[in-house]
Structure 1
Amino acid sequence: MTLRLSTVILPTDRWAEGKKKWQRAEELGFHAAYTYDHLSWRTFRDGPWFGALPTLTAAATATERLRLGTLVTSPNFRHPVALAKELMSLDDISGGRVTLGIGAGGSGFDATALGQEPWTPKERADRFAEFVPLLDRLLTEGTVTQPGTFYSADEARNIPGCVQRPRLPFAVAATGPRGLRLAARHGQAWVTTGDPKLYEEGTPEQSRAALAGQVERLGKACAETGRDASELDRILLHGFTPDRNAPLESLDAFVDFAGRHQELGFTEIVIHWPVPDSDFAVDQAVFEEIATEAVAQLG
């Protein structure tokens, strides 16, 4: 299968400038352009940071072919009923070009922004296990009533439904057993950033071994749920493995990186749009060369 190359554009620019990046992403031929769905994030916390869904709505009106999506949405500050309505609307505005990246969330700034105590890993997993199936129903059925421990719906209506049928695709971010089962049951794609324990002191070889293990566990989760694992796209969000930005230093370096991960079974790699003076500060010209030439070299 031909490897797809996508990008993630952080929502840090006022739209007059941000619009140019989304349109350029389409011109460069990226398969998709995603954005992070956070209220604030890491070192960008005290700078500009705009909302994901309004940004994607604007991007939908500024582009024609580019797929759009979140990478990723989480339950940290979302409720399935309200989110489903917004996603249905975005799918309509974009003409059916939206993918929902979705994960369990973390312990960053989003976890406490609404005034709550941060959830434990188990609490995040429990909520995620309820959030995803309910969102699936809300985007598939016209009217949904479902009581839940954390999330409920009472005659929630999503009419006329998504442009994409039976609903827009889910790309489920997961590495643990419960999350992988959710990906197997509800996902059209699976997302990983690698093994975070290896980011500081691991090696690229150790990272690839860890990713191979994740792919294997995804296959087992699919087998347990009666799903053909080949039905799921496997997405690697670059930037969080021990390689860091080294694969983006040249076209050859990226082709080597991408080819090694394609061999592991990944079908899509997502690279960050360059952000000066940040962890994602790479040469724009090299980035664009990778965008336009790497896929052809991978075959």
Structure 2
Amino acid sequence: MQHGFIFTGTDPELAVELAPLAEESGWDAFFVWEGIWATDPWATLAAAAMVTERIRLGTMLTPVPRRRAWELAGQTMTVDRLSRGRVILSAGLGVPQDVEERFWIFEDDPGRKVRAELLDEGLELMQHLWQGHPFEYEAAHYRAKRTDTMLPPAIVQQPRIPTWVVGVWPRMTSMRRVARYDGWIPNYAPPNASGIDPLEQQRTYTPDIAAEAIAWIMAERERLGLADRSFDVVHEGTTGGVDPVADAAVVGPWAAAGATWWLESDWQVPADRVAEYARDRLRAGPPRLV
């Protein structure tokens, strides 16, 4: 299992300070969050790329339907090249307007169906954009006319920047999208649930359910001819960093279920304590199994 740390603060200077601390302390990845009107995560990660050598860098997560695919492709390519191939893109639909009004102050939510279409087209379009070669694209929401001039350089990682995608288990349309890419960021819709309530999901999503979903993903990837390609499964949670045995007891069941990444986060830390918390938790090191 690999270990990432999610910086939940908003100060880009602090994030750039923390990235090398994460690397020195044995973490495998450093993530920042992406908002609609917020600190630019890709500018922050570009700066972090210049002060680190090993650690992977990414967002948790990018609402691809809210972004212009060509701009996102340029930003991710830039950080991928500056970091010499250490970028991860975490992609999702974005928060619905009825869940978080703050993210919809500039436009109205077109609805889950349209956002899902934009996510599929955006991810597909970026596969071409990342290669920096002439191409044409035509779909319901996006198009690209062929051009042979002023082409940007290609990404370092091939065939694409590793792309982790949010998928809601057991909603098959969502999960089939996940299986085509490089990792699963789990959401869970309990049976008979009318929506996806974060608190209910946290209460009911268990390692046994994760193992069931992972088995389905692997079978689907075999059906698609992707079984020989690496695939990551993410689990996000909180450990104390003080008692290795207690931390291992939290992380271990998820590793046994098939999770390949533990992402450490605590979104409840007050803004005025984020710096202190992040420094202390990073220095304590990741919650390795013992």
TM-score, scaled relative to structure 2: 0.82
Counterpart for residue 172 of structure 2: 177
Residues 139 and 178 of structure 1, relative CA distance in 2, 3 Å threshold = farther
Query: Are residues 1:160 and 2:153 paired?
Result: yes
Cross-structure match for 1:118: 109
Q: What residue in structure 1 maps to residue 263 of structure 2?
A: 270
Residue 9 of structure 2 corresponds to residue 8 of structure 1: no
> 1:198–1:207: 8 Å Cα contact kept in structure 2?
no
Instruction: Give the C-alpha shift of residue 261 in structure 1.
Output: 0.4
Aligned 8 A contact 1:8 1:272 in 2 = yes
Q: Aligned in 2, Cα 1:135/1:178: closer, same or farther, shift over 3 Å?
A: farther
Residue range with higher mean Cα deviation, 61-70 or 257-266: 61-70
1:135 matches 2:126: yes
Count of residue pairs brought into register by the alignment: 276
> Would you say 1:213 and 2:202 are equivalent positions?
no
Q: Structure 1 stretches of 5 or more lacking a match? A: 41-48, 239-244
Among 221, 226, 244, which residue is 1:251 paired with? 244
Which has the bigger relative contact order, CA under 8 A and spacing at least 6?
2
Distance 1:209 1:247 in 2: 24
Q: Deviations over 1:38-58 (max 9, x none)?
A: 125xxxxxxxx4111111111
RMSD value, Cα: 3.0
1:21-36 matches, cutoff 5 A: 21-36=18-33
1:177 alignment partner AA = M
Q: Which letter maps to 2:19?
A: W
- 1:236–1:81 distance in 2 versus 1, CA, 3 Å: same
Q: Aligned partners of 1:73 and 1:59: how far apart in 2?
A: 18
Shift of 1:160: 2.2
Query: Paired residue for 1:44?
Result: none
Check the 8 A contact 1:218/1:229 in 2, yes or no.
Answer: no
Q: Distance in 2 between matches of 1:189 and 1:174?
A: 10
1:147 partner letter = E
Structure 1 pair 14–129 and aligned structure 2 pair: CA distance change class (3 A): closer
Deviations 1:217-259 (A, max 9, x none): 3224323422217721111122xxxxxx466674322211211
Unaligned regions of 5+ residues in structure 2, if any?
A: 191-195
- Residue pair 1:39, 1:109 contacting (<8 A) in 2 also: no
Encode CA deviations 1:137-187: one digit per residue, 9 max, x unaligned: 2213512210121122223665320122233211122123223222222x2
Q: 2:234 matched to which residue of 1?
A: 235
User: Which of 15, 30, 36 is residue 18 of structure 1 equivalent to?
Assistant: 15
Question: TM-score, structure 1 length as denominator?
Answer: 0.79
Shift of 1:28: 0.8
Query: Which whole-Å deviations, capped at 9, do the CAs of 1:18-40 have from their partners, x for residues lacking one?
Result: 32211211111111101112125
Where 2:106 maps in the other structure, the secondary structure is coil
Percent sequence identity is 22
Matched residue, 1:65: 54
Residue 287 of structure 1 corresponds to which residue in structure 2?
281
